[in-house]
Amino acid sequence: MSLSFRQSDILEVAKEEGRVTVEGLADRFQVTVQTIRRDLTELSDAGKLDRVHGGAVLRSGVSNIGYEDRRALNHDAKTRIAERCATDIPEGSSVFMNIGTSTEAVARQMLHHKNLMVVTNNMNVAHILAENPDCQIVVAGGVLRRSDSGLVGNLTVSTIQHFKFDHAIIGCSALDEDGDLMDFDLQEVLVSQTIIAQARQISLVADSSKFQRTAPARIASLADIDRIYTDTSLPGDLPLKCVEWQTRIVECP
């Protein structure tokens, strides 16, 4: 399929914001809503987007979007989430941070924390926090995943099992309507499950784009998480479930 200039621009907007709406695009491009609906239908038929009520979202399915695209996705929201999450991590703590652009954003907000020990399987997090002279960094060994500089596999799991962390800061690829944290890589799922088992307090950082995506492998439930930091209200009845699960919701609008 050959995309029109407008359809290419729509894809770029979707990559930046995670979701596009018919009315928002019609106003942006000064065309009718019928024209936008036709564009979105053609993009969906081409496998570029998934149609949802009132608009479309980036297609996820069984493979993740590119890491650089994820860095740009909802950048401002991730920064707000990271700032708030970092303020809740006390100095003098031991912290695990896993793979993901959201955890990298938190790492940038911890450059002035003192007396930290950070264990990570995210090489990008290690490089960011190397600029903090008051942070001891332990890199969990494993197989390097070149696409995102993450370390995964049995060696990573074995390293994590040698620790008991005060805090774990984790991300996920998707959060479904049942409150399940989802991911694409089974090896990464096993690492994340080990992190949860070895931490006294677990914080999930997840911007609203995660509510609009799907992934095939289950990590855990929000019931297993102490706090979720996000930029908008959780969908459906998840806020009520979080009350039942005693999972604190921290909104960073």
Give the CATH number, domain containing residue 103: 3.40.50.1360
pLDDT at res. 72: 57
Alpha carbon distance 141, 151 (integer Å) = 7
Instruction: Kindly state whether residues 88 and 207 are assigned to the same domain.
Output: yes
**Average pLDDT value for residue range 222-233:** 97
* Percent of all residues in the chain with a pLDDT value above 90, rounded to a whole number: 70
Instruction: Kindly state whether residues 54 and 72 are assigned to the same domain.
Output: no
Number of H helices, E strands in the chain: 10, 15
pLDDT tens-digit profile of 115-171? 999 999 999 999 999 999 999 999 998 999 888 899 999 999 999 999 999 999 999
Q: In what order do the strands lie in the sheet with 94-97?
A: 135-139, 116-120, 94-97, 165-170, 199-205, 227-230, 248-251
**Do the Cβ atoms of 197 and 222 come closer than 8 Å?**
no
pLDDT tens-digit profile of 74-85? 688 899 999 999
Residue 210 token pair: 């995660």
Give the CATH number, domain containing residue 23: 1.10.10.10
pLDDT at res. 204: 98
Instruction: Kindly state whether residues 111 and 188 are assigned to the same domain.
Output: yes
pLDDT at res. 63: 44
Q: Give helix 33-45 / helix 22-29 axis angle, nearest 10°.
A: 110
**Do the Cβ atoms of 29 and 36 come closer than 8 Å?**
yes
Residue 243 token pair: 């009350």
Judged against a pLDDT cut of 60, whether residue 66 lies above it is answered with: no
Give the 3-state secondary structure of residue 205.
strand
DSSP state for residue 91 in the 8-state scheme = T
What is this structure's pTM? 0.76
